[in-house]
Amino acid sequence: MQKKDNQRKPYRIYLKATREWVEVPEEVYKEHTRFHDAFRKRHQSHGQCICPKNKFWLCDADCLTCEFRRAGDHISLDYSTENEDGDTCSPLDALADTAPSIEDVLCDKAELDQLLARLDELMPEARKIGRLRLKGLTDEAIAEVIGIKRTTFRSRIEKAKKQLAPEYPDRF
Protein backbone atom coordinates (compact mmCIF):
# COMPACT_ATOMS: atom_id res chain seq x y z
CA MET A 1 0.00 0.00 0.00
CA GLN A 2 1.36 3.35 -1.03
CA LYS A 3 1.35 6.30 1.38
CA LYS A 4 -0.79 9.25 0.37
CA ASP A 5 1.04 12.45 -0.31
CA ASN A 6 -0.01 15.19 2.12
CA GLN A 7 0.40 17.85 -0.53
CA ARG A 8 -2.69 19.97 -1.10
CA LYS A 9 -4.28 19.87 -4.49
CA PRO A 10 -3.50 23.00 -6.57
CA TYR A 11 -6.36 25.40 -7.28
CA ARG A 12 -6.92 25.93 -10.98
CA ILE A 13 -9.14 28.18 -13.08
CA TYR A 14 -9.92 27.54 -16.73
CA LEU A 15 -9.43 30.51 -19.04
CA LYS A 16 -11.87 30.04 -21.88
CA ALA A 17 -10.24 32.69 -24.10
CA THR A 18 -6.84 31.00 -24.10
CA ARG A 19 -8.17 27.48 -23.52
CA GLU A 20 -5.78 26.73 -20.69
CA TRP A 21 -5.78 26.02 -16.97
CA VAL A 22 -4.03 28.47 -14.62
CA GLU A 23 -2.98 27.70 -11.06
CA VAL A 24 -4.09 30.34 -8.58
CA PRO A 25 -3.98 30.83 -4.79
CA GLU A 26 -6.91 29.48 -2.77
CA GLU A 27 -8.32 32.99 -2.05
CA VAL A 28 -8.38 33.88 -5.75
CA TYR A 29 -10.03 30.56 -6.59
CA LYS A 30 -12.72 31.02 -3.93
CA GLU A 31 -13.49 34.60 -5.02
CA HIS A 32 -13.56 33.57 -8.69
CA THR A 33 -15.89 30.66 -7.96
CA ARG A 34 -18.17 32.75 -5.72
CA PHE A 35 -18.56 35.47 -8.37
CA HIS A 36 -19.13 33.10 -11.29
CA ASP A 37 -21.57 30.89 -9.35
CA ALA A 38 -23.66 33.91 -8.33
CA PHE A 39 -23.54 35.31 -11.87
CA ARG A 40 -24.58 32.01 -13.45
CA LYS A 41 -27.37 31.40 -10.89
CA ARG A 42 -28.78 34.88 -11.51
CA HIS A 43 -28.82 34.31 -15.27
CA GLN A 44 -30.32 30.84 -14.84
CA SER A 45 -33.10 32.28 -12.69
CA HIS A 46 -33.80 34.83 -15.46
CA GLY A 47 -33.97 32.00 -17.99
CA GLN A 48 -30.87 33.12 -19.90
CA CYS A 49 -28.39 30.38 -19.00
CA ILE A 50 -28.83 26.65 -19.50
CA CYS A 51 -25.31 25.62 -18.58
CA PRO A 52 -25.23 21.98 -17.38
CA LYS A 53 -23.68 21.26 -13.99
CA ASN A 54 -20.75 19.34 -15.47
CA LYS A 55 -19.80 22.44 -17.54
CA PHE A 56 -19.86 25.07 -14.77
CA TRP A 57 -16.06 25.32 -14.97
CA LEU A 58 -16.48 26.86 -18.45
CA CYS A 59 -18.41 29.88 -17.14
CA ASP A 60 -16.52 33.09 -17.80
CA ALA A 61 -19.47 35.45 -17.11
CA ASP A 62 -19.73 36.39 -20.79
CA CYS A 63 -23.23 35.20 -21.59
CA LEU A 64 -23.41 36.87 -24.99
CA THR A 65 -20.72 34.57 -26.40
CA CYS A 66 -21.50 31.48 -24.33
CA GLU A 67 -22.61 28.30 -26.05
CA PHE A 68 -25.11 27.68 -23.22
CA ARG A 69 -26.92 30.99 -23.68
CA ARG A 70 -30.63 30.48 -24.20
CA ALA A 71 -31.80 31.98 -27.46
CA GLY A 72 -34.57 34.54 -27.48
CA ASP A 73 -35.31 38.02 -26.22
CA HIS A 74 -34.63 37.23 -22.59
CA ILE A 75 -32.78 40.24 -21.27
CA SER A 76 -32.70 40.82 -17.54
CA LEU A 77 -33.29 44.27 -16.11
CA ASP A 78 -29.97 44.04 -14.28
CA TYR A 79 -28.01 43.23 -17.46
CA SER A 80 -25.83 46.24 -18.26
CA THR A 81 -23.99 47.31 -21.39
CA GLU A 82 -21.92 50.28 -22.45
CA ASN A 83 -23.27 52.79 -24.92
CA GLU A 84 -21.18 54.64 -27.51
CA ASP A 85 -20.24 57.31 -24.94
CA GLY A 86 -18.82 54.70 -22.57
CA ASP A 87 -21.67 55.06 -20.05
CA THR A 88 -23.05 51.92 -18.45
CA CYS A 89 -26.78 51.46 -18.96
CA SER A 90 -29.36 48.74 -18.47
CA PRO A 91 -32.98 48.16 -19.53
CA LEU A 92 -33.96 49.32 -16.04
CA ASP A 93 -32.73 52.82 -16.97
CA ALA A 94 -35.33 52.99 -19.75
CA LEU A 95 -38.33 52.18 -17.56
CA ALA A 96 -40.67 55.05 -16.84
CA ASP A 97 -40.87 56.25 -13.25
CA THR A 98 -44.39 55.46 -12.01
CA ALA A 99 -44.04 57.49 -8.81
CA PRO A 100 -46.40 60.46 -8.62
CA SER A 101 -44.90 63.85 -9.34
CA ILE A 102 -44.33 66.27 -6.48
CA GLU A 103 -47.01 68.54 -7.96
CA ASP A 104 -49.58 65.73 -7.78
CA VAL A 105 -48.64 64.97 -4.18
CA LEU A 106 -48.91 68.63 -3.18
CA CYS A 107 -52.27 69.01 -4.96
CA ASP A 108 -53.61 65.88 -3.23
CA LYS A 109 -52.41 67.16 0.15
CA ALA A 110 -54.06 70.54 -0.39
CA GLU A 111 -57.31 68.86 -1.39
CA LEU A 112 -57.14 66.55 1.63
CA ASP A 113 -56.53 69.52 3.96
CA GLN A 114 -59.62 71.24 2.50
CA LEU A 115 -61.66 68.06 2.88
CA LEU A 116 -60.62 67.63 6.52
CA ALA A 117 -61.38 71.29 7.29
CA ARG A 118 -64.85 70.91 5.75
CA LEU A 119 -65.37 67.64 7.64
CA ASP A 120 -64.45 69.40 10.91
CA GLU A 121 -67.24 71.93 10.19
CA LEU A 122 -69.82 69.22 9.51
CA MET A 123 -68.77 66.72 12.18
CA PRO A 124 -66.29 67.94 14.83
CA GLU A 125 -65.67 64.42 16.20
CA ALA A 126 -64.71 63.03 12.75
CA ARG A 127 -60.94 63.03 13.34
CA LYS A 128 -61.36 61.23 16.66
CA ILE A 129 -63.58 58.66 14.93
CA GLY A 130 -60.91 58.19 12.25
CA ARG A 131 -58.20 57.55 14.85
CA LEU A 132 -60.43 55.04 16.66
CA ARG A 133 -61.20 53.27 13.37
CA LEU A 134 -57.47 53.00 12.65
CA LYS A 135 -57.09 51.30 16.04
CA GLY A 136 -59.60 48.68 14.85
CA LEU A 137 -62.55 49.59 17.06
CA THR A 138 -66.08 48.62 15.99
CA ASP A 139 -68.87 51.14 15.39
CA GLU A 140 -70.41 50.23 18.76
CA ALA A 141 -67.11 50.80 20.59
CA ILE A 142 -66.51 54.12 18.82
CA ALA A 143 -70.04 55.31 19.62
CA GLU A 144 -69.49 54.39 23.27
CA VAL A 145 -66.18 56.33 23.42
CA ILE A 146 -67.79 59.40 21.81
CA GLY A 147 -70.81 59.11 24.10
CA ILE A 148 -73.63 58.69 21.57
CA LYS A 149 -75.75 55.82 20.26
CA ARG A 150 -74.42 53.73 17.41
CA THR A 151 -77.36 54.62 15.16
CA THR A 152 -76.82 58.35 15.79
CA PHE A 153 -73.13 57.90 15.06
CA ARG A 154 -73.86 56.08 11.77
CA SER A 155 -76.49 58.62 10.66
CA ARG A 156 -74.08 61.53 11.28
CA ILE A 157 -71.44 59.82 9.15
CA GLU A 158 -73.93 59.23 6.33
CA LYS A 159 -75.16 62.83 6.49
CA ALA A 160 -71.59 64.19 6.29
CA LYS A 161 -70.83 61.79 3.43
CA LYS A 162 -73.90 63.00 1.47
CA GLN A 163 -72.81 66.62 1.88
CA LEU A 164 -69.16 66.02 0.97
CA ALA A 165 -69.74 63.70 -2.02
CA PRO A 166 -70.83 66.48 -4.44
CA GLU A 167 -68.00 68.77 -3.26
CA TYR A 168 -65.31 66.05 -3.61
CA PRO A 169 -66.60 63.59 -6.23
CA ASP A 170 -63.16 61.99 -6.77
CA ARG A 171 -62.90 61.04 -3.10
CA PHE A 172 -66.36 59.52 -2.57
Query: pLDDT (tens digit, 9 = 90+) per residue, 158-168?
Result: 999 999 999 98
Q: Mean pLDDT throughout 145-166? A: 91
Domain boundaries, the chain: 11-79, 102-167
- Under CATH, which architecture does the 102-167 domain have? Orthogonal Bundle (1.10)
Percent of the chain's residues with pLDDT above 70: 91
pLDDT-based confidence at residue 57 (cuts at 50, 70, 90): confident
The pairing of strands 81-82 and 20-24 is unpaired
The pTM is what?
A: 0.43
Strand spans (E) along 35-121: 81-82, 88-89
Round the CA-based radius of gyration of the chain to a whole number and report it: 33
